[in-house]
Structure 1
Amino acid sequence: METLINIDNGGTLTDICVWDGTELSFTKTLTTPHDLSECLFAGIEKASAKLYGDADLTRLLHQAQHIRYSTTQGTNALVERKGPMIGVVTTIADLADRMVTTPAAEKLRNGVIGDRFLVVDPNSADLEFDAVQLVNRLTTLGAARVVIVGSDPDQEHTLRHILLRKFPRHLLGSVPLIYSWELAGDRDAARRTWSCVINAFLHPTMERFLYGAERRLKEYKVANPLLVYRNDGASSRVAKSIALKTYSSGPRGGLEGTAALAKVYGLRHALMMDIGGTTTDVGVVGDNQVLVRERGAIEGVDISYAMSDVGSTGVGGSSVIEVVDGRITVGPQSVGAAPGPACFGFGGKQATITDVNLLLGVLDPDTYLDGTFTLDPERSRAVITETVARPLGVSLEEALVRMENAYFTALAGAFERWVEPDTTLLAFGGAGPMSAAGAARLAGVRRVLIPRTAAVFSAFGIAFSDIGKTYEVILNEATPAAATQAYAGLAARAERDMFQEGYALTDCDTDWQLVLENLDDGSASRIPYTDGDEVEYPGHALSLELTVTARLPHPELDADRAVTVAAAPSSGTRAVRSSAERVDEVAVHVLDDLSPGHVGEGPAIIEGPFFTARVLPGWYFQVTAAGDLLLSDHH
């Protein structure tokens, strides 16, 4: 039983990629915001039809070793501020000032915490009375969850002892209390508090859906667990995951896929551009390694956990393109999957790049999503005329060209700061292949790689995930004895957690690192650690870190090789507008009908599995040995 189901749930579409131990197969389905489990099971059923010829959901579920799941729902909940009000009680008098040092931090505080931030004196003779009064006050102000922050674990332990007696968990309506040192062993109180606040905000959204999905799986008598894919590239059971680590997990899947292809093609500097329905996510793989920040950041505030360095911009396939103060703007507002672009026919009244590409001729209304969805050009024409052409006082044709240029410019702005002379842009996501060449040229990138799995590439990247845990504990004393005690504690935690994941610790890979945090500048470095090693490093604060990994099967990708070059056959032509005055008959190629080594030049359209790639004039394309598309700019 080596079948692994990998799912990336986005705001507009949900992608499913299945590895059966030999081959990958994939499909897509529309996201159902009203009930996410609906699109989850609909997608798995569609995948079973591709595998077996006829849909057999139960068979695929029972053959799966694991279902690994990534979702943007937590990310979207934070962006849209759809979560519980959070309160904070702290013993640190200046913590509020330390947490809010930038406009971004102030914006996040106003949206999530507001005025629900209170300080208690840990040395008060009436500490018990004060603590209870403050929690009561926060709940009166609307706090549905309260984060407790002490300057050290002992202060939090004291508060816990008080609050558990005064607010027993078994009472109806009891407010969850989150203790900062439990979630994050981080000396920096601001990072630690932000980590708890964001986690508390995301938790209800993730909990409702993920446990709901698990319950539905049990109805099919599925014994193997649903795994949550995390933003550190590993996966774990729902009950062993924290909500904070689901944030930006989809982009991490894209980065892992980028790293896999960077190795295949020998790319030193690979830049991913993942264009979804709502955002474009950009990240870097250098020398086959995903670029990771020691301390991640969410919405401009630092947190206690490492995260891949991903930049997100509100430009996607469903981003609204409109006229504001006489000029065309792109995003950040998105129409999502419901109502979606106007051409979807679900009542959308705002224009998107999907509508633009349909009227330009780039998209065929009858072959969208491999023919599983028909687009309505008349709806696009009406919306663009009303919202863009008339406000600008230009023809529909001129409006389309300007809207496309605005979209290319917005995309280029999303990634141009990461560009180096030898950068290769990996373009994927539903809208990536359509716009990659136009954006790359503006940003000075001359080579674009479009994976054959571009439409489901983040789900493809999840296929390289293992089950894993990372633990970190602060060493208050720089002595071998203190390190040995911490070592034993982490080993015991790891043994318990991996047993609950279904693995013995002795069957897992373990990596022990001593984390050295520079007391002057806060930078951190790591050195391998063995129990009993010396741990005295003057000028550094010390932590012990353990990473445990239970290996799962991964797709095996062969290195790129030279192939015989031949002209790519076309399946026909399509009328594509290149300017307000000009429409060209452009060759159309079907990627599944092409062979490794087939080449061609723009202008051209290449229809891939669930995506359409646009090759602009001056660009050349070649099908690689693995069946991917490599575009090069000869302009």
Structure 2
Amino acid sequence: MNRLINIDNGGTLTDICVWDGHEFRFTKTLTTPFDLSQCLFDGIAKASESVFGKRDIAALLHSTDHIRYSTTQGTNALVERKGPSIGLITDDSSVVTELRTTEQQAGLFDDLIGDRVAVVDLAAEEGQLAFDLVQQVNRLTTAGAVRIVIAVGEADGDAERRLRGILLRRFPRHLLGSVPFLFAWEFAPDRVRSRRVWSSVINCFLHPVMERFLYNAEDRLRGHRVQNPLLIYRNDGASSRVSKSVALKTYSSGPRGGLEGTRALATAYSLPHVLMIDVGGTTTDVGSVKDAQIVTERRGAIRGVPISFPMSEVHSAGVGGSSVIELRDGVIQVGPESVGAAPGPACFGFGGKRATITDVNLLLGVLEPQTYLGGEVRLDADRARTVITETVAEPLGLSLEQALVEMEAAYFAKIAESFADLVEDPDRTTVAAFGGAGPMSACGAARLNGVRRVLVPRLAAVFSAFGISFSDIGRSYEVSLVEATAEAASAAHDALLGRAQRDMYQEGYELADCSLEWRVSVETDAGDHVADYPHVYGQAPEAGQHASLKLDVTAKLPHAELPVPGEVAATPAVASGTRRVRSHHDQVDVVPVFDLVQQVPGATAQGPAIVEGPFFTARVLAGWRLDITSNGDLLLADTH
């Protein structure tokens, strides 16, 4: 096989992982928010140096079968509410109440839609309806809506198709192109109105964030004469080309890669319950793997709002390595706002004027200024000291040392809060900590939640990109069976089969070479999932139930495997140096520094200590023991 390239784009750093069927090579680069395609190619260029010993983008691209790409840009945009204003056209004003059922839903509704809601009367005669519809569209766009969701009529979609015909006749094509309409039933064929409307609204919000970059990246790849299209890694664990993906399914796609990697860890180490904490620059993504299975909801939720599509149970908290730590009402608060890669933490020296945990860890002594990010970014302690003194220490009347300890404690607490609800039995739970900032905070956060075991994979810095390597090319389809008859089910089956054949051909695969899984999904009147059962062609769904026909199509790609770790004899870990690390405002410890790559399997030591891995730093607190497994992973145990 040729190579597979996996890329995970975060708010601060972009990770690149290249697999040639035998080994992984990986690197990181700063995210370039002004042009995300730039950091993609910066990363590919760096990866080519690792593969060939010199920079040769063309050679790497032309020896690669597929590039699979995930991004947290959509997740970060929703966390920080950075996206377009959405308008909503409905025929029932009560839909607003449905979309604002909880405080969290109401907050998201206010931020994304606000008062940009219009109601039309479907009972009006055609001319009057057309006039009213045009007036309402004009009013919404004047109010700032740059994308409009149409959600009218019953679950059969007939009313929305009627409005689409009117809009196509009444508006010139250039206006329709500049203010796109999304028809809720067409996008999310779901009987439950609130789910399909929320799905449409969130997709509209995320779409422009993704669209500009992805098509720009495809253009740049074509400039290198790359034949295989860029594949988007989705939150259902499969990948598809840009034109066949929807923005909503990029939400939490990176964390899904992390979950796939976590499942591989859980399987290899025979762990009953593993919680991933993937601490990136802007968010901490947490998820659960129980008995080697990723916990997935049939109808998922995003930021507390229900959607029509399956979602793995990943929760994104607004706390990361670049999250702002500041005073609000006299209290130290962490996130959700992030300084990202530009301007970045103050210590990056790019003009940042707000404190982050990266600045704190630099001054605590956890980070070494010359070795951060493999020595590619030199950290400036003076800038970090100035910002923390001015924004936190002096306003609270604290010394710099006191402020650092308080800020670290607030950060540990915020990370611990992000996964506290998922800890069912601390004695059976292992925290898998990864991402650039995860290993630095894992011990402190785990201890607050009573969890006594932390696993830091050797590839922690790029673990979500590594997890993408378990992805296949796939497509998923679903259609409601309004009539519970064999004829209706067979007609839906034939229609889906035709769509799948066209889509997979465009992905580069014949349907005969793919695996197909047919299921009937059953819901109650309230929209709660009841069961799935195999679909048999020519057979009617069970009477008296709300059923939909689902089809999953998969084209298999080669997968990596994690070996089962073996027993190894314990030997003392060998330190490569020491570091002065502050553990209290009046106490500085001289702690050993261990290079993870240089340790032999079975190496062990007691904390406090620092472990330097490839592109990450792990802080081992006092009372924790570190062990190096036969796979080269870092296993931490709280011995208190």
TM-score (norm 2): 0.96
Matched, 1:131 2:126: no
Look up the match of 1:552: 557
- From the superposition, tell whether residues 477 and 124 of structure 1 become closer, same or farther in structure 2 (CA, over 3 Å): same
- Taking only the aligned residue pairs, the percentage that are identical comes to 63
Secondary structure at the counterpart of residue 528 of structure 2: coil
Return the offset for 1:232: 1.0
Matched, 1:203 2:198: no
Aligned residue identity for 1:13: L
Of 380, 399, 412, which residue of structure 2 is paired with 1:376?
A: 380
In the alignment, the residues of structure 2 paired with residue 96 and residue 284 of structure 1 have an alpha-carbon distance, to the nearest angstrom, of 33
Q: 182-191 vs 119-128, which deviates more?
A: 119-128
Question: Which consecutive unaligned segments of at least 5 residues does structure 1 have?
Answer: none
Aligned residue identity for 1:146: I
- From the superposition, tell whether residues 428 and 144 of structure 1 become closer, same or farther in structure 2 (CA, over 3 Å): same
Is residue 478–residue 548 contact of structure 2 (8 Å, CA) maintained in 1?
yes
Is residue 355–residue 388 contact of structure 2 (8 Å, CA) maintained in 1?
yes
Aligned residue identity for 1:294: R
Is residue 487–residue 540 contact of structure 2 (8 Å, CA) maintained in 1?
no
In the alignment, the residues of structure 2 paired with residue 78 and residue 576 of structure 1 have an alpha-carbon distance, to the nearest angstrom, of 36
In the alignment, the residues of structure 2 paired with residue 251 and residue 245 of structure 1 have an alpha-carbon distance, to the nearest angstrom, of 12
Alignment: residue pair count? 634
Look up the match of 1:309: 313
Look up the match of 1:454: 460
- From the superposition, tell whether residues 171 and 325 of structure 1 become closer, same or farther in structure 2 (CA, over 3 Å): closer
Secondary structure at the counterpart of residue 578 of structure 1: strand
In the alignment, the residues of structure 1 paired with residue 78 and residue 197 of structure 2 have an alpha-carbon distance, to the nearest angstrom, of 16
Return the offset for 1:140: 3.1
Q: Could you report, residue by residue, the CA deviation over 1:497-528 in whole angstroms, capped at 9, with x for unpaired residues?
A: 11111111111111111101022562332112
Look up the match of 1:44: 44
Look up the match of 2:488: 482
Is residue 595–residue 623 contact of structure 1 (8 Å, CA) maintained in 2?
yes
Return the offset for 1:93: 4.5
- From the superposition, tell whether residues 265 and 154 of structure 1 become closer, same or farther in structure 2 (CA, over 3 Å): same
In the alignment, the residues of structure 2 paired with residue 159 and residue 413 of structure 1 have an alpha-carbon distance, to the nearest angstrom, of 46
Secondary structure at the counterpart of residue 7 of structure 1: strand
Matched, 1:297 2:301: yes
Equivalence map 1:318-329=2 (5 Å): 318-329=322-333
Return the offset for 1:106: 2.1
In the alignment, the residues of structure 2 paired with residue 34 and residue 127 of structure 1 have an alpha-carbon distance, to the nearest angstrom, of 43
Matched, 1:19 2:19: yes
Matched, 1:587 2:589: no
Secondary structure at the counterpart of residue 626 of structure 2: strand
In the alignment, the residues of structure 2 paired with residue 290 and residue 425 of structure 1 have an alpha-carbon distance, to the nearest angstrom, of 15
Q: Could you report, residue by residue, the CA deviation over 1:593-624 in whole angstroms, capped at 9, with x for unpaired residues?
A: 01211111111111100001111111111111
TM-score (norm 1): 0.97
Q: 197-206 vs 418-427, which deviates more?
A: 197-206
Of 555, 570, 573, which residue of structure 2 is paired with 1:565?
A: 570
Aligned residue identity for 1:481: E
- From the superposition, tell whether residues 186 and 63 of structure 1 become closer, same or farther in structure 2 (CA, over 3 Å): same
Is residue 72–residue 252 contact of structure 2 (8 Å, CA) maintained in 1?
yes
Look up the match of 1:465: 471
Look up the match of 2:2: 2
Look up the match of 2:354: 350
In the alignment, the residues of structure 2 paired with residue 476 and residue 250 of structure 1 have an alpha-carbon distance, to the nearest angstrom, of 35
Return the offset for 1:180: 1.4
Aligned-residue CA RMSD (Å): 1.6
In the alignment, the residues of structure 2 paired with residue 407 and residue 85 of structure 1 have an alpha-carbon distance, to the nearest angstrom, of 32
Q: 493-502 vs 107-116, which deviates more?
A: 107-116
Look up the match of 1:162: 166
Return the offset for 1:6: 0.6
Q: Could you report, residue by residue, the CA deviation over 1:328-369 in whole angstroms, capped at 9, with x for unpaired residues?
A: 222222221111111111122222111111111111111111
In the alignment, the residues of structure 2 paired with residue 104 and residue 583 of structure 1 have an alpha-carbon distance, to the nearest angstrom, of 43
Q: 305-314 vs 602-611, which deviates more?
A: 305-314
Return the offset for 1:158: 1.6
In the alignment, the residues of structure 1 paired with residue 383 and residue 180 of structure 2 have an alpha-carbon distance, to the nearest angstrom, of 48
Is residue 494–residue 548 contact of structure 1 (8 Å, CA) maintained in 2?
yes
- From the superposition, tell whether residues 466 and 117 of structure 1 become closer, same or farther in structure 2 (CA, over 3 Å): same
Look up the match of 1:122: 122
Matched, 1:504 2:510: yes
Aligned residue identity for 1:531: Y
Secondary structure at the counterpart of residue 373 of structure 1: coil
Q: 286-295 vs 213-222, which deviates more?
A: 286-295
Equivalence map 1:113-262=2 (5 Å): 113-125=113-125, 126-150=128-152, 151=154, 152-169=156-173, 175-262=179-266
Aligned residue identity for 1:21: G
In the alignment, the residues of structure 2 paired with residue 131 and residue 77 of structure 1 have an alpha-carbon distance, to the nearest angstrom, of 30
Look up the match of 1:532: 538
Is residue 149–residue 181 contact of structure 2 (8 Å, CA) maintained in 1?
yes
Is residue 168–residue 174 contact of structure 1 (8 Å, CA) maintained in 2?
no
Q: 582-591 vs 122-131, which deviates more?
A: 122-131
Return the offset for 1:171: 6.0
- From the superposition, tell whether residues 411 and 382 of structure 1 become closer, same or farther in structure 2 (CA, over 3 Å): same
Look up the match of 2:104: 104
Q: 252-261 vs 149-158, which deviates more?
A: 149-158
Secondary structure at the counterpart of residue 625 of structure 1: coil
Of 502, 525, 533, which residue of structure 2 is paired with 1:519?
A: 525
Q: Could you report, residue by residue, the CA deviation over 1:291-310 in whole angstroms, capped at 9, with x for unpaired residues?
A: 11222222221111111111
Look up the match of 1:54: 54
Is residue 294–residue 524 contact of structure 1 (8 Å, CA) maintained in 2?
no
In the alignment, the residues of structure 2 paired with residue 536 and residue 335 of structure 1 have an alpha-carbon distance, to the nearest angstrom, of 53
Aligned residue identity for 2:638: D
Look up the match of 1:600: 605
Q: 78-87 vs 265-274, which deviates more?
A: 78-87
Return the offset for 1:174: 5.2
Is residue 271–residue 423 contact of structure 1 (8 Å, CA) maintained in 2?
yes
- From the superposition, tell whether residues 392 and 137 of structure 1 become closer, same or farther in structure 2 (CA, over 3 Å): closer
